Amino acid sequence: MRTHIASLVCLAVLAITSDARAQEPPASLAVFPPEVNLSTSRSRQVFVVQAVYPDGITRDVTAEAKAALVNPAFAKLDKNVLTPVADGATELKVEFGGKALNVPVKVKDATVERPISFKLDVMPIFLRSGCNQGGCHGAARGKDGFRLSLFGFDADGDHFRLTREMNGRRINLALPRESLLLEKSQGKVPHTGGQKIKDGDEYSQNILRWLDAGAPLDPPTVAKPVALELYPKNAVLDGKGAAQQMVVRARYSDGTDRDVTALALFLSNNDTSAKISPAGVVTAGDRGEAFVMARFATFTVGSQVIVLPKGLQFTFPPVEERNYIDTLVNAKLKKLRIEPSGLCNDETFLRRVHLDVIGVLPTVEEYQRFMTNAAPNKRELLVDDLLGRKEFAELWVMKWAELLQIRSSNQVSYKATLLYYNWLQDKIARNAPVNEWVQELLGATGGTFKNPATNYYQNETDVLKVSENVAQVFMGMRIQCSQCHNHPFDRWTQDDYYSFAAFFAQIGRKGTDDPRETIVFNSGGGEVTHPLRGVVMKPKFLGGDTPDVAGKDRRVVMAQWLASADNPYFATNLANIVWAHFFGIGIIDQVDDVRISNPASNPELLAEMGKRFTSYKYDFKKLVRDICLSRTYQAATQANPSNEGDTRNFARAGLRRIKAETFLDCISQVTETKNKFPGLPQGARAVQIADGGVSTYFLTTFGRATRETVCSCEVKLEPTLSQSLHLLNGETTTQRIASGNLLGRRLADKATPEQVIEELYVRCLSRKPTPKEMSKLSAAVAAEPDKNKALGDLFWALLNSREFMFNH
Amino acid sequence: MIHAPHKLLAALFAVALSASLAPASSPVLGSVTPRGGQRGVDNVILFNGARLTDAVEILTYSPGFTVAKLEVVNDTQLKATVKIAADCRLGEHVFRVRTKTGVSEMRTFWVGNLPVVQEVEPNNDFAKPQPIPLNVTVHGVIDNEDVDYFVVECKKGQRLSAEIEGMRLGNTLFDPYIAILDSKRFELAASDDSPLLGQDGMVSIVVPADGKYVIQVRESAFGGNGGCAYRLHVGTFPRPLAVVPAGGKFGEEVELTFLGDPAGPFKQKVKLPAGPVEKYGVYAQDAGGVAPSPIPFRLSEFGNVVETEGNISHATATPFELPSAVNGVVSKPGEVDHYRFKGKKGQTYEVHCYARRLGSPLDSVMTIGYLNGGALVSNDDAIGPDSYFRFTVPEDKEYVLTITDHLHKGGPTYFYRVEFTPIQAEAVVGIPKVAQYSQERQAIVVPRGNRFATLVQVGRRDFGGPLVLSAEKLPPGVTWTSENMPANLDTIPVVFEAAPTAPVGALVTSLTAGHVDPKLSPLKSRFYQMAELILAPPGQSLYWKAEASQAVVAVTEEVPFKITLVEPKVPLVQNGSMNLKVVVERQPGYKAAITILPLWNPPGVSSAQSATIPEGATETTLTLNAAGNAEVRKWKTAVIGVATVGNGPVHVSSQMATLEVAAPFFTFAMERAASEQGKDTEIFCKIQQVAPFPGSAKIRLMGLPTKATAAELEITKDTKDLAFKVVVDKTTPPGQHRNLFCQAVVMLNSEPVVYNVGAAELRVDVPLPPKVNAPVATPLPVVAKPADPVKPPEKRLTRLEKLRLEQEEREKAAKGDTTEPEKKK
């Protein structure tokens, strides 16, 4: 009974706040689109009105706002739809909650009929209705005997297939209504896909108009869409059920624009928080953040939608901001009404930063030194110290070796692999600016022994794969899809793909004195042909210009653009890769899956880091230093109620399983045992393994990258049963404890069990045991006559503890 | 033109052969340790292998070695004390071990100028290197991940050079890396690979300050194993990387400029040999010593031009006259060297750019074009990275030759030499490999009173026509038999025979080929033999080889068997087969089985892989088959016999015998036949008589399906046609049996000539089931009967005619169905 009353009370409170919101005057008002252009008689424009309240909450007030045309002679207003009447200009006046706004309205060619267009009017229907999806007619072999190009990348081909491929069947120009195209899509005859459009609706009418016109193919002069706009750009919805209508407008090459809300395909990357209907209405769900997208022609654009619990009361606490990272992370958290976790303690920081920066645990001495250091800036001093250590370079050589696929194979000898690895190590150890060595790598010419950077082009010799790899590693783009069709979730078209591949079409390779060596050079000949159109593609930067490559090494031209500020993706991509290393998750995640439909969780932060990295002259260490010194990085892992559900906004530190190589090195370090890997001297660390082909059972089990692909997903951090069993029973723990004989030596040195327990804790976990742990453990050890065995058990237990396995 | 073959017989000290040791044959030579020695002193060398018990000689191909003492340690090891002459050529020398019963593989030994010291482990710690004096050669081994450090004491301004022989020792894939480090561990010079020495490296510095310097040696990828032996020369010797000019005229004294030495360029005068010398090279020498390995140097009968400074355009091109050679250095990145010459229309030249072949880092690109005009011909890589083309002068004009680096590199040691030479025909003689990558039977080893056969191959370059082989010399009592090599063949068999009295011994000799027609000008010819010493991935890539320009001919002790090929009295007919009979003459008590191998099959003839004369037996046959297009003529060939004597195999051969390949006596045109199961048929053959034969020939139809038979028939030289009656059983499998042919056996000189002739097909059908509802079944037999009497002029009908007849009858019968029954009844 009491609960019932309580919930009634809650409801009443909710009602009050909701009402309060309705009556409260908004801080500002916005109308989308910000201006209305109507051209030709069929043109129309839907608009939405968004009210922004002082606390940042937004509401779609289109229905409540008063709207009227200043001069109704030029246009007609029906609810929120404007249609042309006569040529001229006027304004739409919108009023709500005491705020008013005038939107310019221009009308042109009000009585001119725009001729029906296959590409502009019919093709979008196929995309919107799902006809050309991969599961339907867009499949490589079509569906039920009829094929359309996937997501409409080949409009000319689709026109051919509709009108010519099966004469007199798919369309019927004598009786257009009886065309199979219409009958199937309207479900009048059996259609596996069911009814997609209704007889008489806008889509049916457009198809019919096209058929009535004789099913023409557009003249080559027909305008092409050049940009897409989705309004509003962002929305903060207050509680479940709040809604926001979206408006989509396309801009064309002839300068016109068009309301394509009815033709766009809407998607949301988080249906739980913000679901979007086919008509473009976003409905709020659970608390969270979503990116809603509209797809039209080859464009995908998105808007950010934040959903908050109804009536949430929140004040952002005062949080220290040590640098721009904290400022930008906190700005996002404020928007989300999330409070960051507190600062981690010194012990945690010491262990975390050691593992992240140099891939080894702090030694007992390092622990003592840091913990007893009273300097207020001791964390900063520690970071600077670690950045200067050789292990820092080794850790990042490994990271890059994964991305550059440094691995021996039938084509690449172990010697070449080692030389390549050492070349990279030298660059990183000397902190060579990243753009410089990337340019050197991608423009490399010479023998694979004499100039080891050329091995980049020996590891992968397929022109298309090389271009895909370059895009994925250095720009974070997966352009593979656009090899066969326009990228479904990104902007890349086949033209972009093959134009980029043209940079790698002139790589010459020849043998030399040593059978294991290959000379990579600019052959000056070779082109890439567009498979659909059969034309030779001019080299064009991905998302950039078409440079002059005549008489030059195309790769050098490409490398100079790629690793420079001219390429908007290079610096941010590297910054994202570095960020992901320290947080376990990228600002864009996965780091090599940069696309419009996978937006950055904090675009401002990513952009700023990219800008800083560029201004640092691509000094990698400076970027790492910024991250490590930020409060964001030094946050504790413990969640507070506001951030416990958040995983993407860095409100608290994440728990990260230590990578295979580093983990093995940690075990070797704490047990004082040595590794032996093929091709490396005794005692080498696992991060030093040059050849991706070399592995051990331990490394494979814990997910070491095989470097067979450039994918960041090669490194596996998921727990598996074999990992647990190996640590419980395998040679890596028990045998190493025995062969390292650390306990034997300590006991021989007359150390007390308590001293040994404390050392083991500091060695493995970089902390002292709690008094409770100590009292229980010393009692247990005291009860066991064989001290070595008892302490060995403790050592084993520590190595098997989650606290040891994770960086926290 | 070929350097006079020099052979040095080892002083034959009495080799104490223990009676208990079994007589050996076919010695095997594996490793030789140490891998080299110092000239001018005695060196003790161990030869490890198998069946070495009766070793008598170290057979060298080049002068400078005297075997002072040869001891057999056991069957697998020999110990030789070898005096190396003070003027022995430095570098690699090839040799074999000869036993009384055989000759081993080719192996190599390296001669150096410096005293040898041994590596002493542990020397793996930079802090505790092995001290060595300057000017020594260290013999060491790189084990897995081994790093060897040696320390020397140097004075400021002194030159410190190190050069390693690793891969070149030919042991195993060993790619060494060497470096000179100062006492603070800074690398002053390092070398992994070098254009001059391949995978082996060399470093040289001018010492910056008095003190200790450490030489580091390791495998370039931290590999290594017990086989990775090296010879590290450490000293004050010069180690230039280039020489200009890189060639000179026979017999002249030339002044050479050596480049790339850390002490700077220096000049040296060299008197060139009067005639060709294999693998000639020049050794840089100064007060600091002599470089351990030479820079390869071209000897030529034509003159020499060295580039003039600044020859980087058509206007500044260095002039020269044809035929001759130009020499220069691509001294800066991107530099293009120009030379101009006058050409006479129609003259053709071989144009070789020698760069990498001489050890230059240059990856040449060479072009020729008109003076002030465009390029006519160009080449990047033809012989390794070196450029080559053949240039025919298109008109009487001036031309420009350009040389540059493919990757636009350049530097003071990027030297090259371009030779223009008139085209000269050349024949390269060799012994083809019996097995890939193997040295088996690459030496000619003839037992006394017996024979040895081998194939000889001749590569013809820029000429054609038949060839005659000749040997410069042969051991006493050895003769050889061989036909002239026809113009269309590049391989022929040769049989060597040693008289029973021929002394056991060996010599190295040149085998050459010349024109059969004495009116033709003498042919340039040389012998070439190669043994792959290091093969390794990728694929079976060749990293190091031993080469010889002479063949070894040896006489060995008698073997207890001798084989004879019984020369056939009849020809091998095209499409025919023959059993060659081989008989063995065994010495009393020798019973081992003998394997007979074909030595060579004439074009279009194939044979069994081998045949065996069983233990104790005296003969066997080897089957030969001739293809339909086998060349018709008389050939000479022999067979090889191999048997175990003592503990190893011995190869001997038969005499050279004549084998005639002839056209068939007659050919058949056979017709296709068809039948049903259980129904007989006939197969007809029209005979085309080609050559008369005595008596009658037996003809048997072959390839019939099971349960189908045809009797053997006989024909004479006058028979025109033939019909086989084929009995087809009810169970004969139905279908199209395509491989029917006739086997003809003609008896000639009381030996059979067997060959296959004709081709036919037989179709066997399943009989049609009797029609269930057959109203016409009864009238038909009635129809057939009246036809019977009209048989007498039995004309043989072809299958087609039969089918037509059948069809006619069917049609008639069909008509009869409707209209004719009336009449017939």
pLDDT at A82: 94
Q: Which residue of A has its CA nearest to B544?
A: A514
C-alpha B771/C-alpha B789 separation (Å) is: 28
| Cβ neighbours, 10 Å, residue A765 | 19
C-alpha A336/C-alpha A288 separation (Å) is: 8
Tens digits of per-residue pLDDT, A199-239? Answer: 989 999 999 999 999 999 999 889 999 999 999 999 999 99
For the cut 90, the answer to whether the pLDDT of residue A447 exceeds it is: yes
In angstroms, the first-to-last Cα distance of chain A is 45
For the cut 70, the answer to whether the pLDDT of residue A526 exceeds it is: yes
Q: Say if residues B597 and B642 touch (Cβ distance below 8 Å).
A: yes
Helix (H) or strand (E) holding A181: helix A180-185
Extract the tokens encoding A797.
């237990």
Residues contacting residue A388 through CB under 8 Å, at least 6 positions apart: none
pLDDT at B281: 96
In chain B, which residues have their Cβ closer than 8 Å to the Cβ of A682? 145
Interface of B with A in 334-353 (CB under 8 A): none
pLDDT at A350: 97
- Residue by residue, DSSP assigns A572-613 as HHHHHHHHHHHHSS-SSSSTT--BTTB--SSHHHHHHHHHHH
Report yes or no: B199 at the A interface, CB cutoff 8 Å: yes
In chain A, which residues have their Cβ closer than 8 Å to the Cβ of B220? 415, 418
C-alpha A157/C-alpha A171 separation (Å) is: 15
* Contact residues of A toward B, CB < 8 A: 410-411, 413-415, 417-418, 445-446, 449-450, 510, 512-516, 519, 521, 679-682
In chain A, which residues have their Cβ closer than 8 Å to the Cβ of B192? 449
C-alpha A404/C-alpha A312 separation (Å) is: 48
In chain B, which residues have their Cβ closer than 8 Å to the Cβ of A679? 145, 221-223
In angstroms, the first-to-last Cα distance of chain B is 104
- Return the half-sphere exposure (C-beta side, CA atoms, 13 A cut-off) of residue A807: 31
Return the sign of the alpha-carbon dihedral for residues B42, B47, B52, B58. Answer: negative
Q: How confident is the model at residue A16 (pLDDT cuts 50, 70, 90)?
A: very low
Q: Which residue has the higher pLDDT, A638 or B806?
A: A638
Q: Which residue of B has its CA nearest to A517?
A: B538
pLDDT at B22: 43
The predicted model scores a pTM of 0.86
Three-class SS state of A11: helix
Report yes or no: B125 at the A interface, CB cutoff 8 Å: no
Q: How confident is the model at residue A606 (pLDDT cuts 50, 70, 90)?
A: very high
CA A17 to centroid of chain Cα atoms: 37
C-alpha A643/C-alpha A522 separation (Å) is: 54
Three-class SS state of A454: helix
Query: Hey, are the CB atoms on A415 and B543 less than 8 Å from each other?
Result: no
**Measuring CA to CA, which residue among B385, B393, B347 is closest to residue B368?**
B393
Beta-carbon pairs below 8 A across chains A and B: 55
pLDDT at A21: 63
Three-class SS state of A332: helix
**Nearest C-alpha of chain A: how many angstroms from B540?**
10
**Nearest C-alpha of chain A: how many angstroms from B701?**
55
pLDDT at A168: 76
Q: Say if residues B684 and B670 touch (Cβ distance below 8 Å).
A: yes
Report yes or no: B406 at the A interface, CB cutoff 8 Å: yes
Query: Hey, are the CB atoms on A679 and B198 less than 8 Å from each other?
Result: no
| Chain B contact probe: residue of A419, A509, A514 with most B CBs at under 10 A | A514
Q: Which residue of B has its CA nearest to A422?
A: B221
Chain position carrying tokens 């320290």: A582
Query: Hey, are the CB atoms on B407 and A445 less than 8 Å from each other?
Result: yes
**Nearest C-alpha of chain B: how many angstroms from A675?**
14
| Cβ neighbours, 10 Å, residue A375 | 10
Query: Hey, are the CB atoms on A411 and B538 less than 8 Å from each other?
Result: yes
Q: Which residue of A has its CA nearest to B191?
A: A450
CA A460 to centroid of chain Cα atoms: 25
Q: Which residue of A has its CA nearest to B381?
A: A510
In chain A, which residues have their Cβ closer than 8 Å to the Cβ of B358? none
Query: Hey, are the CB atoms on B541 and A516 less than 8 Å from each other?
Result: yes
In chain A, which residues have their Cβ closer than 8 Å to the Cβ of B146? none
pLDDT at B145: 85
CA distances from B97 to A360, B5, B50, B67 (A): 59, 18, 11, 12
C-alpha A48/C-alpha A60 separation (Å) is: 7
For the cut 80, the answer to whether the pLDDT of residue A498 exceeds it is: yes
Angle of CA points B134, B135, B137, to nearest 5° = 110
pLDDT at B218: 94
Q: Which residue of A has its CA nearest to B199?
A: A514
Residues contacting residue B789 through CB under 8 Å, at least 6 positions apart: none
Q: How confident is the model at residue A649 (pLDDT cuts 50, 70, 90)?
A: very high
Query: Hey, are the CB atoms on B221 and A449 less than 8 Å from each other?
Result: no
Extract the tokens encoding B89.
């050529």
Q: Which residue of B has its CA nearest to A447?
A: B407
Q: How confident is the model at residue A266 (pLDDT cuts 50, 70, 90)?
A: very high
DSSP symbol at A146: B
Query: Hey, are the CB atoms on B538 and A512 less than 8 Å from each other?
Result: no
In chain B, which residues have their Cβ closer than 8 Å to the Cβ of A449? 192-193
**Nearest C-alpha of chain A: how many angstroms from B188?**
17
Question: Per mean pLDDT, which range of A87-101, A341-355, B116-130, B772-786 is the poorest?
Answer: B772-786
Report, as ranges of residue numbers, the positions in chain B whose pLDDT lies below 50.
1-22, 777, 779-788, 790, 819-825
ipTM: 0.82
C-alpha B391/C-alpha B376 separation (Å) is: 9
Query: Hey, are the CB atoms on B222 and A418 less than 8 Å from each other?
Result: yes
Of A410, A417, A445, the CB nearest to B538: A410
- Residue by residue, DSSP assigns A735-758 as HHHHHH-HHHHHHHTT--HHHHHH
Report yes or no: B190 at the A interface, CB cutoff 8 Å: no
Query: Hey, are the CB atoms on B223 and A414 less than 8 Å from each other?
Result: yes
Of A418, A445, A513, the CB nearest to B198: A513
**Nearest C-alpha of chain A: how many angstroms from B170?**
15
In chain A, which residues have their Cβ closer than 8 Å to the Cβ of B359? none
Query: Hey, are the CB atoms on A513 and B538 less than 8 Å from each other?
Result: no
pLDDT at B467: 97
C-alpha A487/C-alpha A497 separation (Å) is: 10
Tens digits of per-residue pLDDT, A363-422? Answer: 999 999 999 999 999 999 999 999 999 999 999 999 999 999 999 988 899 999 999 999
In chain A, which residues have their Cβ closer than 8 Å to the Cβ of B381? 510
